[in-house]
Structure formats: C-alpha cells, structure tokens
Amino acid sequence: MNAVYNGIDTIRDYRALLSGRRLGVISNPSGVDRGLTASIDILARDFRLTALFAPEHGIRGDRQAGQAIADDIDEALQVPVYSLHGQRKRIASAQLSAIDLLVYDLQDVGARFYTYLYTLSYAMEDCARQGVPLLVLDRVNPLGCAVVEGPLLRDQCRSFVGMYPMPVRYGLTVGEYARWINAEFGIGCELHVAPCRNYRRGMSFSACGLPWVSPSPNIPTPASALLYIGTCIFEGTNVSEGRGTTRPFEQIGAPFIDARRLQERLAQHELPGVIWRATHFIPTSGKYAGELCHGVQAHISDSVALRPFSVGMWLLHEIREQCRDFAWTAPEHADRLFGDDALRSGREDIPAILARAERESEDFRERSRPYWLYGD
C-alpha cells in the first residue's frame, strides 16, 4: 500500500501559489507533516510567514475548551498571533490587509460540533470580503469518510458548534467541507485545496500510517475522537463526559449512577463494536472535580462496526431511565450539539431518532458527493 500524505507533505507542489506572498496561517500543534515537523515552522522556513491566527485551544494547544485567547507574539518565530477564539472570532480587515494568502492547517476530528470547522468558515467569509485567497492543507478524516451518522442541524440551533445542515459525523475531509460550503452557501472565497495523497474514503486512521497528534486537550487518542461523536452530548447534562480524566469521552459517569447496573443494561443492547466496563473515577477538573463518579467506559472492539452516535444515544437513554437525578444542565447547548430539541424534549424516542438520523445522514452523503476529492 502506498503511503498516505496530508496536504502539508506536498507543500512544495504549491510553491507558485505561495512564493513571494505574505502568508497568514491558522494552525496549532496538530498541524504537522508526516515527520512531525510543525506546519508553521515549514512555512516560516520556506516562505514568508507574517502572521499566525489561533483557533480554540490556542496556537500551541495549551488552552482548555471555551477558554478565551488573547493576541500575542510567537516567541519562536517573532510574528504576531491573532486570536480567533475570544471576543473576536473573525479576522479583522486590517489583519487581512497585511497578508496576501491565508493558509489553513488544522486536524479536524470529523464531528459537526468541533469548532475548527467554523473558524475555517468565518475565515473563508472574511477572505471573500477582502479578496484574499485561502489555501486549505487537507488532512485525513480520523474517523474515515465512509460512514455518516446523526441528524442534520436545524436552523434554530445554529451556533459556533454547528452552522450548517450536516450530520454529526459528516464523512468529509476539511478540504471537502470547504468546497461544499463555498459552493452551497455562496461564500465566494477564492479557495485552493492541497489534497491528501493516496487517501481513500474507507481508510481508517491507523491504515493511513500517519502520526496522531492530539488536535485538542480532550481528544488525546483516535478512540476518544471516535466516541466523541456519541458522548459529547453529555456536555449538556449533569453527567461527566470524562473531562479531567485520562479517558475523556471514553468514560462517562456521575456520583448518582449505579455503574454495575448501567453496564448490565447497556450490554443487553449488544451494540456492535463496543464492550462496556463498569468504572469509577475522580475527575481532576470539570464536572465533579475531586468527587468519586461511577459509570461505564466504552472499549472499542471493532472501530469499523462501531456506530458511536448510536452508542451515545443508548447510553443517554439508559442513564435517563435509571437515574432520577439526571438533568439537562445546559439545554440550549445540548440542542445545538444534537441538532434540534427532539432528544432533550423526548419528542422522539431513540429508535425514531436513529431511523431519522440514518435517512438524513445518507441523504447528506449523496448531496455532498460532488465535492469529494477522494474515491471509495
């Protein structure tokens, strides 16, 4: 099998586009080449890098979810770092006037509610208004592109954790996503995409042979990225999604849960690709910091067969059924993550939600096909 390369690995093929231009770059520690050299260092070495733009978690990946980021100077490169996750999420006109080309290189995780997508969306809109071209250095989708899952986002739930009618697991690379929104939503950005080389839609992340660099503090492993599709919904509840532990989004719990009973109930569903284990943990931060929580850990036995959205729905269902103390502590956030209020309100039961999600996600897959860069 031929080695798979991300867009940054083929950057010299785009020398004509990059040479002689003042470059701005949106990146973080997940932006590395196959040899783990940072993209910003490659671009600074070979071209004229004049500005960095920091997404959520910061240019060095040292900020927690939702933490505001201030403008700064990068000590190593001595270029300004402008925040895109704080009071301002857009690139100011004056900042765009100081560059000739914007480069985007962030590792996405394949989930609709991951904010890097919308940092890119805003950047495309800003570049379109200012007439600045944008180059996306494409990266493989760590979940693969063969499977789509979850309901479409409704307009009333649009936010910075979801802006477009797409499923939770949308089955595109970030370059394909950029092509889709640019055409379908009339952004009008002068968009260039440096595609991955030797990548196919059905390839798992492990099959690509690429190094894993955590794209954000609470997605430390490919397993956490995959389960994040289903367990992120717990952010809107009084159940810990595992933040503050070594297994965020892989283990779920709260002080009021009967771990053994929950594990037994989940095992009865015989969901493919997952084995449930009763577990107990004490988060060091986040919900229930310093308190003993009881719950389950989802162990992935078959990443191809696993459907993490379904896993998350049945896990939530069993906790709601078992625990009178369960509560939606951030209902609006939960609706934005899910895509509408059907889950939280109980307007649809789990089988109905999963049936609708399958219809909507498969329809999206077909409608997004014209923007694919990679075959099956």
pLDDT digits (tens, 9 = 90+) for 120-141: 999 999 999 999 999 999 999 9
Contact 59, 25 (CB under 8 A): no
- The yes-or-no verdict on residue 63 having pLDDT over 60 is no
Predicted confidence band of residue 309 (pLDDT cuts 50, 70, 90): very high
Greater confidence (376 vs 11) lies with 11
Give CA–CA dist 351/359, Å, rounded. Answer: 13
Contact 318, 298 (CB under 8 A): no
Percentage of the chain beyond pLDDT 70 is 97
| SS (HEC) of 30-77 | CCECCCCCEHHHHHHHHCEEEEEEECCCCCCCCCCCCCCCCCEEECCC
Mean pLDDT over the full length of the chain:
95
CA 26 to chain centre: 15
Domain spanning 7-209+365-371, CATH architecture: 3-Layer(aba) Sandwich (3.40)
Residues in contact with 4: Cβ distance below 8 Å, sequence separation at least 6, in sequence order: 140, 196, 197, 198, 199, 203, 208, 209, 210
The fold for domain 222-345 equals: Aspartate Aminotransferase, domain 1 (3.90.1150)
Q: What is the pLDDT of residue 133?
A: 98
Exposure string of 8-23, with b = 16+ CB inside 10 Å and e = fewer, is bbbbeebeebbeebeb
The domain spans of the chain are 7-209+365-371, 222-345
pLDDT digits (tens, 9 = 90+) for 206-261: 999 999 999 988 999 999 999 999 999 999 999 999 999 999 999 999 999 999 99
Instruction: Of 48-62, 143-157, 201-215, 242-256, give the lowest mean pLDDT range.
Output: 48-62
Give CA–CA dist 250/345, Å, rounded. Answer: 25
Contact 142, 213 (CB under 8 A): no
